[in-house]
């Protein structure tokens, strides 16, 4: 009688490959979770808090700089193109000059879209919104106060998910909701 050959059968190999395929699929789905609108609101809320902190640390803007070239009295400001949010710090130069220095930039993930914003705090139905991102801005001052505003985010594709970030003037407090109401 011939000795049985050692090794794996084709069936055993197919079972092992199927198990590995299922595990890889599970890991891929877990690791590549899409960014949700609430995640973007939280990230931008952190940016507002950082803007307030930096504004307090920078102190008041000199009077000659405030009137020069439209520098204003905000020490930090957050602006947007609708796809990228940036945090800038006012840098005072020689008397009557200023420039803005980039501190942080946050490009929106492809899975989330900035729907609109309002220069007031409130739900989507109670505020006048705009999509002209070139006029968007939230300034923070040496006192710790920031300009009021509300940002509305939604999923770019797929299931309708929304979030709202309201910047309250007092101490850069933020209010985040998983909807627009």
Model pLDDT for residues 56-68, shown as the tens digit of each residue = 999 998 888 787 6
Angstrom distance (rounded) from CA 26 to CA 50: 37
- Could you tell me which CATH number the domain at 35-177 has? 3.55.40.10
- Please check whether residue 154 is in contact with residue 109, taking contact to mean a CB–CB distance below 8 angstroms: no
pLDDT tier at 2, thresholds 50, 70, 90: low
Q: Is the pLDDT of residue 69 over 90?
A: no
Q: Which helix (H) or strand (E) holds 74?
A: none
Q: Where are the alpha helices (DSSP H) in the chain?
A: 10-31, 37-58, 63-67
Is 90 exceeded by the pLDDT of residue 83? yes
pLDDT tens for 149-163 read: 999 999 988 778 899
Q: What pLDDT score was predicted for residue 47?
A: 96
Report percent pLDDT > 70 for the chain: 95
Quick check: 46 pLDDT over 80? yes
Q: Whole-model pTM?
A: 0.78
Is residue 78 scored above 90 in pLDDT? Answer: yes
33 Cα distance to chain centroid: 17
**In sequence order, what DSSP letters do the residues of 14-64 get, joined into one string?**
HHHHHHHHHHHHHHHHHHTPPPPHHHHHHHHHHHHHHHHHHHHHH-PPPHH
Q: Domain locations in the chain? A: 35-177
**Mean pLDDT for the stretch of residues 84-99:** 89
List the structure tokens of 148.
């009021």
Those residues with Cβ within 8 angstroms of residue 177's Cβ, 6 or more apart along the chain or in another chain: 163, 164, 166
165 three-state secondary structure: strand
């Amino acid at each position: 009688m011939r000795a049985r050959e050692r090794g794996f059968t084709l069936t055993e190999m197919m079972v092992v490959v199927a198990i590995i395929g299922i595990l890889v699929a599970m890991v891929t789905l877990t690791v590549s979770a899409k960014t949700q609108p609430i995640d973007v609101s939280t990230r931008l809320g952190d940016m507002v808090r950082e803007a307030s902190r930096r504004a307090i640390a920078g102190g008041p803007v000199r009077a000659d700089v405030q009137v020069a070239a439209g520098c204003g009295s905000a020490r930090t400001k957050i602006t947007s193109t609708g796809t990228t949010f940036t945090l800038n710090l006012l840098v005072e130069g020689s008397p009557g000059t200023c420039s803005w220095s980039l501190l942080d930039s946050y490009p929106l993930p492809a899975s989330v879209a900035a729907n609109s914003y309002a220069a007031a705090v409130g739900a989507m139905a109670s505020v006048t919104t705009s999509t002209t991102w070139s006029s968007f801005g939230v300034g923070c001052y040496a006192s710790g106060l920031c300009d009021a505003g509300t940002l509305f985010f939604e999923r770019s594709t797929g299931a309708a998910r929304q979030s709202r970030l309201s910047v309250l003037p007092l101490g850069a407090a933020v209010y985040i909701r998983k909807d627009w109401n």
